[in-house]
Structure 1
Amino acid sequence: MSGKLQGKIALITGGNSGIGLATAQEFIKQGAFVYVTARRQAELDRAVESLGAHSRGIRTDVSNLAELDALFTRVKQEKGRIDILFVNAGVASFSPLGSITEEHFDQHFNTNVKGLLFTVQKALPLIPNGGSILLNASIESKQGKPAFSVYSATKAAVRSFARGWTNDLKDRGIRVNVISPGPIETPGLNGLAGVTDAEHLKGFHDHLGSDIPLGRIGRAEEVARVAVFLASADASFVAGIELFVDGGVAQV
């Protein structure tokens, strides 16, 4: 039985772990061939090994425009098109107002905003009419968490891009949509906690879950299944939206 993405070519930036890797797994289950990118070769190799023959990894720093050019040149040579683009690569760290450095600002905006913008722009010649672009944002763009203002601002920019690009691309029928996760159990979230042992991580997750109407944090595969929906023909009349995958925490 064919899947919802049968025969599609997808590219996921930041596909070596967490939401990106889970989405690659779901896309492959639904019949897609998936390119994944990451900045670190060893992590990328492990991800591709776990994904199997219907994947390929290309080491790419999305904040480096020359590396983006090399990425899309290779995809063009090998597959000729990208039906689904999921711009997932991002960075996140804390810094309170008064202590924000230029390095902190540049790190976040170069990857989360500049990198995202030029990933989409450079991919456009490879995206056929009717293609799907997914942008990974965050509920933090709607909230005011202490020491997280720079990261939150980058994700607000992502939401704004989707609105403008939906109109820019309407004549080509390319749908641009945003996924905004809440707390999701990923290496990135665990890294923000600053702890690695299982007991403290469980306490951290339970603390976050206590504020969520569904009573727990999310799983990466739950975000991935939303990405499948938005990428597929099931969402053929869905464009320009921000779909929250947050257990209701930013909604009620």
Structure 2
Amino acid sequence: MKKFNNKLAIVTGGNSGIGYATAKELIEEGAKVIITGRRKEAVEKAAEELGAIPFVADQANLDDIEVLKKEVESQYGKVDILFINAGITGGLIPIENMSVENFDSVMNINFRGAYFTLSKFIPLLNDGASVVVLSSIVASTYKPNSSVYQASKAALNSIAKTAAAELAPRKIRVNMVSPGPTKTEVMTKAGLDEATLNGLNDYLIDLIPLKKMGTAEDVAKLVTYLSDNTISSFITGTEIIVDGGMVL
């Protein structure tokens, strides 16, 4: 008997990176997994590879979240695992030059969209369900040119802790996973070329005590652990850092 047999999981942004790796882990443990993403072709391709259920939805679009919620409710009923993973870094821009477009883009996906994904799905969560929010170590760092991304993750952590308190009477646990530098497509999507990306990777590895980058699988295993109500039933409102010791 696999640990997530007869469990329904939703992974936002599940077509690549940490979301994809987590969906894979959950499916291997027996869960039925719905993955969401903005790009129809990418979501359907990932779902086919994983054996997941695809759903095209933009976390920044509240109408999409509402449609997703209604479809899940009508087709599947209750949800056991909710992994709010979708997010972007946005541009690396100093505060004085910040555009409204970049600010809104990052906040609409990382914070507003994540907030209302949680809000809409709370009525569908089974008692004893697990919610995991993908945060980042940047939530407690203050590096130049990353103000909006850092603020979006700090806000998300605050909401997750409040949700943990609100949902505790139903034994629903809400936890945060905060990776450090991780090998995913997110920095490529931020517009960095290969040479710049390699230079950044070398720079980051030098800052990490374990002298290596994290992987999507490292994070996925932790999300899966927190989703298991038999081994993590006494963990809620907790932020777990996965960064190779970077913030020591």
User: Could you tell me the TM-score, scaled by structure 1's length?
Assistant: 0.94
Matched AA of 2:62: L
What does residue 218 of structure 1 align with? 214
Determine helix, strand or coil for the equivalent of 1:131. Answer: strand
- CA offsets, 1:127-162, max 9 Å, x none? 011100111110011111220010000000111011
> Equivalents in 2 of 1:72, 1:8: separation in Å?
17
Q: Mapping of 1:103-182 within 5 angstroms? A: 103-182=101-180
- Pair 157,56 (structure 1): closer, same or farther in 2 beyond 3 Å: same
Tell me, what secondary structure is at the counterpart of 2:133? strand
Q: 1:92 aligns with which of 89, 92, 98?
A: 89
Give RMSD over aligned pairs: 1.3
Kindly indicate whether residue 246 of structure 2 is the aligned counterpart of residue 249 of structure 1: yes
SS in 2 for 1:244: strand
Identity %: 40
Decide whether the 8 Å contact of 1:134 with 1:230 is kept in 2.
Answer: yes
Alignment deviations for residues 144-188 of structure 1 (CA, whole Å, 9 cap, x no partner): 122001000000011101111111111111000000010100000
CA distance in 1, matches of 2:85, 2:184: 13
Deviations 1:174-211 (A, max 9, x none): 000000010100000333471237xx644432221111
- Give the aligned residue type for 1:207: Y
Q: How many residues align?
A: 246
What amino acid is the match of 1:122? Answer: K
Unaligned runs of at least 5 residues, structure 1: none
Distance 1:234 1:182 in 2: 24
Aligned partners of 1:193 and 1:204 also within 8 Å: no
Gaps of 5+ in 2: none
8 Å contact kept, 1:195–1:201: yes
For 1:202 and 1:193, the matched residues in 2 are separated by 13
